[in-house]
């Protein structure tokens, strides 16, 4: 196989964002897309344009503003889907791609679609041809490809390639595949479809992690002819997630002796920064033991390991932490730092902020600076996150006072300002609960006349020291079955919790409490 170039197709903003509770707003998606461009991914699947006005706007905005990668929109083999995707990616010009999909496995044909094989091929071909009216860059996915009869899969691939598909993706939609079988399937397709061998069209793979084999299956596919890998930052995605981009890239780089020499465009020193940004924007915390990007990935507690590392790093580290972006943060800012210094630091960290943004962030920076000695890069990034995750506010926090202890009933007094009221009406109430956080949240419920059920709560220290900024992420069900994410940060964890919960309330009220409809996707 002459072509050893591996195309990295990042679907963090599409499949990754489908993970329950990981929904991002437009500004969050745009920041992630900009970081993906700095990471130098080849393709950004920015969303599913037909699914909602928000998704359409996100794909279209990313297509307009993010330069470098190909910008892709997902569509079923349905005219309205394809037309929406075509319009959404149009601002990207020649960098626009439409990704159409249709289920092909017998179980999907019989029970989901109720269609025969010849009907599936006709619909697939029609979908590709319609997409070609918008762009020459068309990808087709036979959904549940890993469970589709191999010979029928060959027929489908030949038909869509003949119709103009430049990429054919073979998804392991339900994480059913194992490396040997999946690799053999990819080789069968590579050997059976002349266009794959000639390079006229390429094989892509999209692996899910239900059995923990997404990365292994992706690498098996590469070794058998796949030249595009669909993956996400931190492996986020539906159910157990997708193949983790950082694991695939570093496996290929670190073990080229065993896997063969493959080239990809990723700037690996941007990996940790990308991981942290996605974790913050999605509210999905990276487990400490996660390969490459987890906090323990390069930690050594054993005395034997520490001794070995001090003598020669390679004794217990197969990768240099700096190669993926680990390393000390820059000199921290203090409360005496001016707006220009903060603006410069934001630019260094890769954030694109307007003067209005900088002013808002600087105001929060001064608040934090009065409470702690140093403001580190991670603190500043958390403040940026808090700013761009804001939604049009119905309620804002004016005052919070908590009484708690082991011999008293936890009580929280909360004052909120109703932003939508003509005179900025303020309301105050108190609540009691099982603890200070519960009391504060109940007081917010009473004031906002909402009733949220806390489904998940996570707290982490953003930076070092006893005065570290605490970052809280919550997932709340307001009774319609839709999980709403909220985030907040403060040196006071009770305040951070209240801010996170109020952020979720505002998101819910901003959406009108309407449940977002999600379609079946590969």
Return the pLDDT at 487. 86
Each residue of 475-520: pLDDT tens digit?
Answer: 899 987 778 888 888 889 999 999 999 999 998 888 765 444 344 4
* Residue 290: inside a domain: no
Paired with 171 in beta bridges are 206
CATH at residue 414: 3.30.160.270
Residues 274 and 401 in one domain: no
The pLDDT value recorded for residue 165 is: 98
The answer to whether residues 224 and 126 belong to one domain is yes
118 and 204, same structural domain?
Answer: yes
Same domain, 167 and 194: yes
Cβ-Cβ contacts under 8 Å for 328 (sequence gap 6 or more):
none
Residue 522: the pLDDT is: 60
331-340 in b/e burial notation, b at 16+ Cβ within 10 A?
A: ebbeeebeee
Mark whether 176 and 139 lie in a shared domain.
Answer: yes
**Residue 333 forms part of a structural domain:** no
> Is residue 445 domain-resident?
yes
Q: How far apart are CA 317 and CA 312, in angstroms?
A: 9
Residues 146 and 229 placed together within one structural domain of the fold = yes
CA distance 469 to 472: 10
Q: Are 174 and 239 found together in one domain?
A: yes
Size of the chain in residues: 522
The two structure tokens encoding residue 479: 């009774």
Angle at 258 between CA 2 and CA 203, to 5 degrees: 40
pLDDT at residue 74, rounded to an integer = 98
Helices (H) and strands (E) in the chain, counts: 18, 14
Are 203 and 346 part of one and the same domain?
no
> How many Å apart are CA 375 and CA 342, to the nearest integer?
10
The domain in which residue 318 lies consists of: 300-327
Query: Which phi and psi (to 5°) does residue 476 adopt?
Result: -130, 135
Quote the tokens at residue 172. Answer: 């392991």
Both 20 and 71 in one domain: the answer is yes
pLDDT value, residue 516: 40
User: What is the spatial distance between Cα 28 and Cα 435, in angstroms, rounded to a whole number?
Assistant: 32
Structural domain contains residue 145:
yes
Task: Identify whether residues 208 and 319 lie together within a single domain.
Answer: no
- The answer to whether the beta carbons of residues 252 and 6 sit under 8 Å apart is yes
Asked if residue 33 belongs to a domain, the reply is yes
Number of domains in the chain: 4
Within a domain: residue 409?
yes
CA–CA distance, 382 with 471 (Å, rounded to integer): 7
Residue 454 burial by Cβ neighbours in a 10 Å radius (0-12, 13-18, 19+): middle
pLDDT for 337 equals 87
DSSP 124: H
Integer Cα distance of 442 and 428 in angstroms:
12
Does any domain span residue 203? yes
End-to-end CA gap in the chain? 28
Whether 380 and 417 map to the same domain: the answer is no
- Please check whether residues 246 and 156 belong to one and the same domain: yes
388, 404, 429 - which closes a domain = 388
Residues 6+ apart with CB under 8 A from 174: 144, 146, 147, 208, 210
Q: What is the pLDDT of residue 1?
A: 47
Domain end call among 373, 388, 403: 388
Give the pLDDT score at 34: 96
184: tokens are: 């053999």
Point out the residues of the chain with pLDDT beneath 70. 1-2, 20-21, 300-310, 313, 328-331, 389-390, 421-422, 466, 512-522
Q: Does residue 292 form part of some domain?
A: no
């Amino acid at each position: 196989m002459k072509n050893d170039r591996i195309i990295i197709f990042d679907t963090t903003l599409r499949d990754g964002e489908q993970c329950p509770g990981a929904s991002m707003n437009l500004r969050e998606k745009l920041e992630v897309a900009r970081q993906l461009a700095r990471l130098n991914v080849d393709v950004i699947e920015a969303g599913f344009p037909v699914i909602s006005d928000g998704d359409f706007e996100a794909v279209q905005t990313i297509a307009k503003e993010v330069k470098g990668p190909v910008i892709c929109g997902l569509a079923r083999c349905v005219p309205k889907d394809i037309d929406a995707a075509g319009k959404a990616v149009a601002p990207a010009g020649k960098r626009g791609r439409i990704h159409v999909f249709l289920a092909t496995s017998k179980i999907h044909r019989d029970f989901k679609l109720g269609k025969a094989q010849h009907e599936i091929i006709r619909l697939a071909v029609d979908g590709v041809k319609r997409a070609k009216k918008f762009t020459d860059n068309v990808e087709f996915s036979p959904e549940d490809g890993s469970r589709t009869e191999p010979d029928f899969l060959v027929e489908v691939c030949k038909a869509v390639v003949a119709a103009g598909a430049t990429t054919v993706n073979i998804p392991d939609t339900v994480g059913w595949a194992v490396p040997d079988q999946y690799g053999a399937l990819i080789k069968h397709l590579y050997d059976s479809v002349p266009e794959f061998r000639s390079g006229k069209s390429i094989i892509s793979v999209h692996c899910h992690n239900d059995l923990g084999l997404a990365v292994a299956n992706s690498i098996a596919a590469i070794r058998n002819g796949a030249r595009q890998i669909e993956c996400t930052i931190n492996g986020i995605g539906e159910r157990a997630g997708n193949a983790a981009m950082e694991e695939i890239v570093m496996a290929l780089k670190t073990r080229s002796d065993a896997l063969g020499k493959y080239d990809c465009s990723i700037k690996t020193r941007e990996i940790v920064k990308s991981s942290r940004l996605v974790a913050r924007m999605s509210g999905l915390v990276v487990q400490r033991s996660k390969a490459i990007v987890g906090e323990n990935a390069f930690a050594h507690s054993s005395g034997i390991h520490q001794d070995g590392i001090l003598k020669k790093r390679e004794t217990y580290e197969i990768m240099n932490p700096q190669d993926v972006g680990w390393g000390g943060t820059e000199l921290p800012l203090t409360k005496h730092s001016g707006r220009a210094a903060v603006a410069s630091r934001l630019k260094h960290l890769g954030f694109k902020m307007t003067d209005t943004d900088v002013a808002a962030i600087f105001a929060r920076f001064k608040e934090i600076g009065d409470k702690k000695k140093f403001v580190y890069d991670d603190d500043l990034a958390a403040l940026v996150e808090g700013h761009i995750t804001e939604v049009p506010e119905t309620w804002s926090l004016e005052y919070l006072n908590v009484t708690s202890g082991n011999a008293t009933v936890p009580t929280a007094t909360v004052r909120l300002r109703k932003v939508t009221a003509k005179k900025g009406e303020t309301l105050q109430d108190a609540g009691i609960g099982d603890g200070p956080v519960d009391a504060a949240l109940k007081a917010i419920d009473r004031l906002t006349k909402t009733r949220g059920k806390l489904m998940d709560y996570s707290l982490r220290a953003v930076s070092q020291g006893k005065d570290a900024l605490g970052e809280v992420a919550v997932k709340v069900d307001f009774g319609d079955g839709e999980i709403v994410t909220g985030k907040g940060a403060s040196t006071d964890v009770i305040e951070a919790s209240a801010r996170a919960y109020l952020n979720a309330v505002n998101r819910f009220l901003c959406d009108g409490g309407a449940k977002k409809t999600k379609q079946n996707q590969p």
